[in-house]
Structure formats: C-alpha cells, structure tokens
Amino acid sequence: MLKLLRHKPYTVSFSLAIAGVALSIWLLLRVVLSAQVGFSQLSMKELLGIFINGFWFDISALAYLVVPLLLISLMLPNTLRHKIWVNHIRWGVAGFLTFCLLFGAVSEYIFWQEFTTRFNFIAVDYLIYTNEVIGNIRESYPVPLILLGIALIAFLIVFTLSRVVRFETRQRSGKQKLGLGLVAIALPLLSFQCANVDQMDFSQNTYANELSGNGVFTFSAAARRNELDYDKFYKTIPQTQALAVLKSVGVNRKTTSAIIATDNHALSKNAQQLEAYLGPFKRRPKNVVLISVESLSADYLGTYGNQENLTPHLNQLAGESLVFDKIFATGTRTVRGLDALSIAIPPIPGQAIVHRPDTDHLATIGELLEVKGYSTFFIYGGYGVFDSMNKYFRGNDYKVIDRTDFDKTTIQSENVWGVDDESLFNNSLRMLDQQVKTQQPFFAHIMTTSNHRPYTYPANKIDLPQGSRSGAVKYTDYAIGQFIKQAKTKPWFKDTLFVIVADHCASVAGKTKLPLAKYHIPLFFYAPDLLPAGHYKRMASQIDIVPTLLDLLGTSDAQHFYGQSLFEAEREQLPERTFVSNYQALGYYKDNMLIVLSPKREVEAYRVDSASLEAVSAPVDHRLLNEAIAYYQTAARAYKHGELKEYFD
C-alpha cells in the first residue's frame, strides 16, 4: 500500500475516477449484504450470478450518474481546465460525491435490515413522507455518529485517491467535446434500452435476485412502476371466462352499483337468509372494535407455537376467543392490511388502494355501515397523513382520529411513528364511551404503532429493554391486555365483538419470492358474552374478515366482496384459498399449490408443504392458474373502472 502511495500518480479523467469509486462502494455493499444473508443460503451458481448481474446493474446505473460529470467537463472552458483552484474544486466535488455514494450505501443497508430488498416503491414513498421517515431514522440510529463516520471514510478515500491519481487537465479539441456530448447522450439511452429491473430475477432464490440489484437502479425503476397496470404487465384471460371461474369457486361477482340498485324486497329476503346462520355466535354483536396490530407475525404468539412468552396477555385472551389458526396477510405493509380490512379485495399490483387517488365512497365496511346508521371510526396512533390514511378513511365516511387529536396530557410516551399503544387505547375508550351516549351502534378500527422501529414505549411496563422488536411485541401485548381489562368494565362490552388481527408480518424475507410462512398472522374474535372459545381451522385470507363482520351484523352487503364470509364458507364447504403479495408478485395459494403472477406475464408454481409451508418449484396447475388470474384481473379492473364505488356519481 505504501509503495502504491509513493508511486507517481496516474492521470485519469474525473468521471472515470468517480465511476471507480462508485463501483467499489457498490461491490463492497453487495459483499456485506451477501454475508449478512449467509453464504450457506446461496449456491455457488447463485453467488456467481449475484456478482455478474450486479456488475451489469452497477454499470447501468453509472450510465445515468456520470452524465452530469461529462456535461460539466464538456462545458468547462479550456482556459480553466489547468487552473489550480479548478483542481481544488474537482477534489471537493469528489469528496462530496464519495460522501453521497457512501450515504446511499448505508441507507441501502438500513433499508435491507427492514425489508430484505433493494430500494423499491416503499423507498419512493418514504421520500414523500420525510417527517415520519427521517424522524424514525433519527430515533432508531445514532445519525450524527453515522454521518461523521461516513464523512471520515469519504475523506480517507479521497485522500488516498489523491495520492494515487491526478485528474486530467489537458485541453479538449472540438472533436473531443463532440465525442463527450455523444457519449453523454448514448449512455443513458443504451442503459434504458438494454437494462431492465426484471433481469434481477435470474434464479429461484429471492435473496440472490435482490442481492444482484443496484439500489440506484431499482429506486428509479420503482419510481416509474409505482402503479402497475394489471392488463399491461400480467397474464390475462377473457373477462367472461374470469367471471365464470370466480362463480365456479363461489364468488358471484357483482358491482356495488348493482347491489344498491336491488329492490328493497330482495334486500329484505337476503337479510332474512343471513339471520338464519350466525355460525358459533349466540346472538349478533351490536358493535365491533377491530384492532389491527402493527407487524404482529403469528409466530410471536404462544398460541401459534412461540416459546419466548412475548404475548402472555394475548395467550390468555386466546383461551377465551375464537382463534383462527390459518389466516394470511395479503401484503407486506400497513396499507395493504388496511385495504384488506376495509375494501376486502385481493391485493392489486403497484400501490395499495389506500394510497391511490379517487378512493372516496368506495364500498368499504365503514361506508356501508355508516349508511345503515353506524358511527364508524378510524383511530390511529400515528400521523394519519402518512400513506394518505386520513384522506382515504375520511373519504369513506369514517370519523378519523389520529395522534394530533389526542390531548397531550393523555400521552405517556411517543416517538416519530406514533404514541404508545396504551395512550392510543385509553383515548379510544374515552371516544367510544362518548359514542355510546348517542345510542348509535359503532364500528371502530384502531391501528397501533408501538411494534415499529424505533421500538420505544413507556418505561417499567414489561421486563424487556426498549429498542428491540421482542420488547415492542411484548409491550403491545401488554397494552392490548390493559385495553381489554378496561373494556370489560364498560356497559357496552357485552354487546361488542373485539377483532384482533395483524396488519402484516414483521418480515417477509425468504428464499422464495412469496414465502407463505412469513404471511401467517393472528386473528382472534373475542366476545365472551356472544361467542364461545374455540378454533377455526380452515385456511382463510385477511380479505375474508370484512364480509364475515358484515354478515354477523346482519347486513346484506357482504355478497359483493371477493372475500368469503367465513362461517358461511365453513357451512357450505367453499374451497379454502388465500392471497399473498409483495409490491409486484401476486400469489394465490390453494390445494397445497402456490401460483405466483409477475410482470412480463410470467407465471411460477410451487408445491407447498402444508405443515412447514416450505415451497419447491412445481409444474403449473392450469386450473389454479386461471383462478389466480380471475381474482387478480377482475379486482384490478373493478378498481380501474370505478366498480368498487358505493355508488356512481
């Protein structure tokens, strides 16, 4: 090393030097992330593909990033190229760009800890909601120390580079400037034409595919693909065939406008039919409190096999509840869970519906119950502006309450993501007590936040330290236990069904694209005066909760949803199936087979072990493929054509 530093500096162009720094940083990041995944998770062929594909994506990203440097070099007058002060500026810019590249690598590393993916559309969203995201990072990590470390490493890199190379200062001829201009135009065009984010999928191992990517490249691809048109990117079948397939599996798909246009006699008759079957319920609930718990994977709960005693209160509650053994979340983010728990449709590709424009007056459970005289609430411990939650729920006739509506004296602790769950539940109880005075039944959807990084909560509540996922899970469990304890003292308790469900799991990382075990979530129906304890053993989806609740409340609206009314499905022995997805891959699981639909009209099939939920590649079952397409295609078109509206303007 010392010999290299004493060597006469090599003359290189400024753009080439920065390109070398970028490639080195990205290579090192890929090595670090691969080591973190574990080389035992990767075959030699996959490792080779990671670094060959990775280099391709790195130079494809560089094709865009070097363009400004080439243009500056092109425009710099020859009379200034050899000036000492210009050279100092070059080194200053080199230091700044190195800092930016290192900052990007550290950001990718942190993002990988949360999602085990390269930058995707979630990262694009995070740029919009900077207050929550930056605040979350500041509370979770020692940001000043990290920035200082990045600056120090950037300085050392540039200092070392200055001893090894010097920047080219010779004058450029007209031909050379023309050549630079043509290169600046050609590089991004070639990259755009030849490199595609879909090329990451070179193996069956999702870890390997993600590791082969480049964060800059995947981020820009996600920004372009934030909303994916199903018909353009995914495999389709004729719409008449899709509707026939749905009918064959028990989904008599109707638009909500058709339901609302139905005459009163038909609605009355349907309501009488619904009255005849309540499943295990002794009588109908008057009110519903739906608690969606942030990131609560089923495998955190003792009821589902965990041995760490993280959820003593929920474990006790399970003994008094109807526990659903095999419920799966539709997606990997809160907004996907909110889609499922409000509009009850399979997850359509791209953005969740909650986060899209023109989502007012959809046929959500809140909108439908509000029409029937219920007071409907969405109560959130964080800032509801995040992910457009306030806009979505207000536009669908919920009364929205978030942390900004809580009296500051009622908040024990808070972080940038939200108030502690106890404070959320205490405020919710006060609001529900006020609501009962109106004599109106209520439907309240309460969304927690404590089980989210930075994992902070009030002191002296549990026996685990703050700052860890395990501690946050145990605190959330404690808060739910306190909420139920207080609710039992309320006069409205005996008429209320409490539904406890996760919005999604804590992690969905796995070797396969959609690892089913990582979508398994808890679901409890707790109403000791209405419902005996027990277990519901059939497999079901998060989207089945809404139609089940509407049936239990005696409405006639459950029929238009894609989800099954669970007790009716059990009685009629409808086929068991579930839906899982990430931001691009759409999964349909049935008969121990998982069908995965992906962009470029790709289809994959996996045979799934019913006990471990481990999956291995298998031939495509075309019957199940058509069912998967029918669900996702009709759902995407229904949203696109306004058929999910409660009414047409």
Domain-located, residue 596: no
Question: Which among 219, 208, 214, 293 has a CA at the least distance from the CA of 510?
Answer: 208
Answer positive or negative: Cα dihedral of 485, 486, 492, 498: negative
Q: Are residues 211 and 331 in the same domain?
A: no
Let me know whether 178 and 311 are in one domain. no
What is the per-residue DSSP string for 381-440? SS-TTGGGHHHHHHTTTPEEE-GGGS-GGG-S-B-SS-B-HHHHHHHHHHHHHHHHTTT-
605 phi and psi, to 5 degrees? Answer: -135, 145
pLDDT at 5 over 60: no
**Per-residue pLDDT at 28 exceeds 70:** yes
Report the pLDDT averaged over residues 295-307.
96
Residue 295: the pLDDT is 95
Tell me: do 273 and 407 sit in the same domain: yes
Answer yes or no: do 14 and 161 share one domain.
yes
391-416 CB burial, b ≥16 within 10 A, e <16: bbbebbbbbbbbbeebeeeebeebbb
Count CB neighbours of 516 within 10 A.
22
pLDDT for residue 392: 96
Left if phi > 0, otherwise alpha if psi is -120 to 50, otherwise beta: which for 287? beta
With cut-offs at 50, 70 and 90, classify the pLDDT of residue 580: very high
Domain boundary among the residues 199, 226, 253 is at 226
Domain boundary among 515, 549, 577: 577
| Phi, psi at 455, each rounded to 5° | 60, 50
- The residue among 187, 283, 211, 199 whose CA lies nearest residue 35 is 211
Of residues 140, 153, 183, the one with CA closest to residue 16:
183
pLDDT band at 269 (very low <50, low <70, confident <90, very high): very low
The alpha-helical segments, DSSP class H, found in 38-120 are: 44-65, 67-75, 78-81, 84-115
**pLDDT at site 270:** 45
Instruction: Give me Rg for the CA atoms of the chain.
Output: 28
**Does residue 274 fall inside a structural domain?**
yes
Write the CATH number for 486: 3.40.720.10
Q: Is residue 550 part of a domain?
A: yes
Record the tokens describing residue 447, joined without a space: 């969304």
Give the pLDDT score at 553: 93
pLDDT at 130: 65
Residues 343, 196 share a domain: no
Q: Centre a 10 Å sphere on the Cβ of residue 585 and count the other Cβ atoms it contains.
A: 19
Please report the pLDDT score of residue 13 as a whole number.
86
**Same domain for 23 and 81:** yes
What pLDDT score was predicted for residue 512? 79
Q: Which residues pair with 500 in a beta bridge?
A: 291, 524
Asked whether residue 384 is domain-assigned, the answer is yes
- When pLDDT is cut at 50, 70 and 90, the band that residue 31 belongs to is very high
Predicted local distance difference test score (pLDDT) of residue 179: 84
Q: Using one digit for the tens of pLDDT, what is the confidence trace for 100-125?
A: 999 999 999 988 987 788 887 777 76
Q: Side chain identity at 272, as an amino acid letter?
A: Q
Predicted local distance difference test score (pLDDT) of residue 456: 94
Co-location of 366 and 279 in the same domain: yes
What pLDDT was estimated at residue 257? Answer: 38
Tell me which range, 133-137, 482-486, 601-605, is most confidently predicted by mean pLDDT: 482-486
Among the candidates 164, 198, 226, a domain finishes at 226
| Structure confidence at residue 267 (pLDDT) | 39
* Contact criterion met (CB below 8 Å) for 280 and 532: yes
Q: What is the mean pLDDT of residues 544-562?
A: 86
Assess if residue 92 is contained within a domain: yes
Q: Identify whether 636 is part of a domain.
A: no
Quote the tokens at residue 104. Answer: 């990007």
State the pLDDT at residue 194.
93
The mean pLDDT of 577-592, rounded to a whole number, is 94
12-27 per-position pLDDT tens digit: 888 899 999 999 999 9
- Alpha-carbon distance 583 to 221, whole Å? 13
Residue 286: partners with Cβ closer than 8 Å, 6 or more residues away? 441, 492, 495, 496
Task: Say if residue 217 is in the same domain as residue 345.
Answer: no
User: Residues 221, 273: one domain?
Assistant: no
How far is the CA of 609 from the CAs of 521, 586, 590, 614, in angstroms?
A: 18, 19, 12, 5
pTM summary value: 0.81
| Average pLDDT taken over every residue of the chain | 89
Q: Which domain holds residue 529?
A: 269-577
In a shared domain, residues 163 and 309:
no
pLDDT band at 223 (very low <50, low <70, confident <90, very high): confident
Q: What is the C-alpha separation between 147 and 371, in angstroms, rounded? A: 53
Tally the domains of the chain: 2
108/36 Cα distance (integer angstroms): 13
642 within some domain: no
- Residues 221 and 324 reside in one and the same domain: no
Q: Residue 623 domain-assigned? A: no
Two tokens, residue 347: 């997850």
Tell me the mean pLDDT in the region 417-443: 96
Range 546-550 average pLDDT:
95
AA identity, residue 511: K
pLDDT of residue 264: 39
Q: What's the pLDDT tens digit per position in 173-206?
A: 888 888 888 988 999 999 989 998 889 989 989 8
Q: How do residues 626-642 score in pLDDT, each as one tens digit?
A: 999 999 999 999 998 88
* Percent of the chain whose pLDDT exceeds 70: 92
Q: Helices 215-224 and 121-128 sit at what angle, rounded to 10 degrees?
A: 80
pLDDT of residue 263: 37
Give the mean pLDDT of 605-610.
Answer: 96
In the prediction, which pLDDT does 12 show? 84
- Assess whether 196 and 281 both reside in one domain: no
Q: Which two tokens stand for residue 189?
A: 């065009």
